[in-house]
Amino acid sequence: MFAIFASIMTKEQIRQTALRTISLETESVAGLAHYINDDFINAANAVYATAGRLVISGIGKSAVIAQKIVATLNSTGTPSLFMHAADAIHGDLGMIQQDDIVMIISKSGESPEIKVLVPLVKNFGNPIIAMAGNEKSFLCQNATYILNTTVSQEACPNNLAPTSSTTAQMVMGDALAVCLMELRGFSGDDFAKFHPGGLLGKKLYLRVQDIYINNPKPFVLPSDGIKRIIISISEGRMGMTVVVDESKQIQGVITDGDLRRMLEKETEISSVKATDIMSKGPKMIEADALAVDALDKLRKYDITQLVVAENNKYCGIIHLHDLVKEGLI
């Protein structure tokens, strides 16, 4: 067993260890600013210009970082593949195509698998980007571009376990990915195309017209009386009805609250028309607006329904419950 029972840490000792770890890793990340040089810029431009993919490889913890960087690049418009360095020399080299660029991640740049892999990639003629913490290493000496991720100290108390170094690799990968996003002019709409699932996807692509279309569309004419108004609100099950003219142009809305307030004031209701009790200037939203924008509007005005319109022509109603069902809340 580890010497876990030989030393019992106090709460303050645990707190200080955590703070020390954060401090060391913060310093490692800050130090990367000195390594954003011409090699980094040239590597970013090379990846942007290539007709192929960026194949990223590594061994051990660096392989895990490589997979994360691949995931980030793929989701932001840069086609990428992960190739484990050990598997590469046992057949996976076949995934490298002529126009691909290969990025190899290694803290030391001297791992046995890396030393076998690098000459093989060079023989293929593919450019190599080395992400390493030792510019004098075998990997860096044989690379086309070097992304320097040197750290002064691991956060591990023994200065052994990859901690500060893998954090630096992660951040350098993010820096490259964001530069490529900007080089490509990667927009929010592009991001939505690659993230159609889950809450993030819905916020980016789900529109009002995708939701309201299945809801009832209650409406009355300005001259309609109380009976017709009550039936419309009741049948619509939306807590309101919309007052429209003959061409479906929106004149106002009547909510069940408007009805109650009218009944409290009026003793003779037989002659009351929709125009007498409707609220003019209702809160509206365009059908092609994002659903998350509808949610923002509902929250802003502290209401539960919005009238959906196109050029002031009545289309339907979207309710807060619709957005709840879609998981936007």
Which of the residues in the chain have pLDDT under 70?
1-7, 189-202, 266-267
pLDDT the model gives residue 1: 47
Residues 6 or more apart from 116 whose CB is under 8 A from it?
89
| pLDDT tens-place string over residues 85-105 | 999 988 899 999 999 999 999
Q: b/e for 201-216, b at 16 or more Cβ within 10 A?
A: ebbbbbbbbbbbeebe
Residues 6 or more apart from 64 whose CB is under 8 A from it?
58, 166
Asked if the structure places residue 226 within a domain, the reply is yes
Asked if the structure places residue 278 within a domain, the reply is yes
pLDDT the model gives residue 63: 95
pLDDT the model gives residue 91: 87
Asked if the structure places residue 53 within a domain, the reply is yes
Sheet (strand 250-255) strand order: 219-220, 240-244, 250-255
Asked if the structure places residue 191 within a domain, the reply is no
pLDDT the model gives residue 256: 87
DSSP state of 308: E
Strands of 72-220 (E only): list them: 80-84, 101-106, 128-132, 145-148, 219-220
Q: Judge if 293 and 240 occupy the same domain.
A: yes
Q: Judge if 269 and 168 occupy the same domain.
A: no
42: tokens are: 């040239």
Sheet (strand 101-106) strand order: 80-84, 54-58, 101-106, 128-132, 145-148
Angle at 69 between CA 66 and CA 73, to 5 degrees: 140
pLDDT the model gives residue 198: 60
Q: Judge if 253 and 178 occupy the same domain.
A: no
pLDDT the model gives residue 105: 97
Which secondary-structure segment (H or E) carries 315?
strand 313-319
Q: Which domain holds residue 288?
A: 208-325
Which secondary-structure segment (H or E) carries 187?
none
pLDDT the model gives residue 9: 86
Contact 169, 62 (CB under 8 A): yes
**What does the alpha-carbon distance between residue 308 and residue 321 come to, in Å, rounded to a whole number?**
15
CATH of the domain at 275: 3.10.580.10
Contact 236, 254 (CB under 8 A): no
149: tokens are: 């991720």
| pLDDT tens-place string over residues 242-259 | 999 999 999 999 998 888
Domain count, the chain: 2
Contact 208, 273 (CB under 8 A): no
Q: Tell me the one-letter amino acid at 302.
A: D
Q: Hey, is 23 helix, strand or coil?
A: helix
Q: Judge if 145 and 214 occupy the same domain.
A: no
Rg, C-alpha atoms of the chain:
31
